[in-house]
Amino acid sequence: IIMINVSAYGQTGSMKDQVGFDPIGQAMGGLMSLTGTPDDAPMRTAFPLIDRITSLHATIGALAALRERDTSGEGQTIDVCLADTGFTTNEIPISAYLGSGHVVQREGNGKGLGGTYQTKDGWIIIAANNDAMWGRMCEAVNKPEWLEDTRFSTRADRQANNDALEDELTEWFSERNTRDAAEHLSAHSVPCAPVNTVEQAANEPLLQEREMMMEIPDPVAGTMWVTGKSIKFGRTPMVVNPTPLIGEHTRELLSDVLGYDDEKIGSLEDSQVIKTIESTPATAD
């Protein structure tokens, strides 16, 4: 058997018996200290980032353990936790500090060629910091003279003179609609994206084109919108099903994997050691 343990602080260490939820990972790993603008209080993300990544760690670990079992024939335990994930989300700043004592500072939504700008009807973010993107950006905003300006000769020069770039870019974006600006920059191969609201994101054509949200039947809710095909397999297309009910596969796992007969499964169920779909009615509560 591959047994996955998911907890707040892990199965070892001085904090193993403490409880916690997603925000403790964001706080413990230092991520909150770098989220937001410089004058803000520490800020957590708007969605459970730590929960999501921890579940991925658990999944990757389980798959690796299953692969190893093919060789060894043995199971093992997997230990993942929210605190560990919090450290991994902030690994580059932590590495910089441990290696050289450098302390990364918050900068909000970025600066200069990696910043966020207000348009006539919204916001847009760009990511054009490297030298290849710099030339494209100059062409896109019709500023060929920037290529000869010694203030912007290197990436370090441009970062040192972010204010001068921001003044010009702020004006350029303010004269355009978000979609027009994004399409124009994309036509010049400048990485950019509109900063969508939830409503705008839900209506993005790409969301449907990539089948990233799908409405599926659900035994409790009737129908439900869920994350769709986040992984596209070339030969075996993904099938998106509703979340299993509590106990839905208990009998199947005990009989097919462990070889338990109906009498033994029934005894475990009667003793309330396990639950099966028959003993766990679906409710909408």
Residue 276 pLDDT class (50, 70, 90 cuts): confident
User: Cα(281)–Cα(246) distance, rounded to whole angstroms?
Assistant: 9
Contact by Cβ (8 Å): 106, 37:
yes
pTM: 0.81
pLDDT at 275: 87
Percent of the chain exceeding pLDDT 90 equals 89
Residue 281 pLDDT class (50, 70, 90 cuts): low
pLDDT at 280: 55
**In CATH, what number does 112-195 get?**
3.30.1540.10
Domain 2-100, what fold? Rossmann fold (3.40.50)
pLDDT at 283: 53
For the stretch 22-48, pLDDT in tens is 999 999 999 999 999 999 899 999 999
- Give the chain's mean pLDDT: 94
From-to residues of CATH 3.30.1540.10 in the chain: 112-195
From-to residues of CATH 3.40.50.10540 in the chain: 2-100
Q: Burial of 155 by CB count in 10 Å (0-12 exposed, 13-18 middle, 19+ buried)?
A: middle
Q: Work out whether the CA dihedral 50, 55, 56, 61 comes out positive or negative.
A: positive
Contact by Cβ (8 Å): 5, 78:
yes
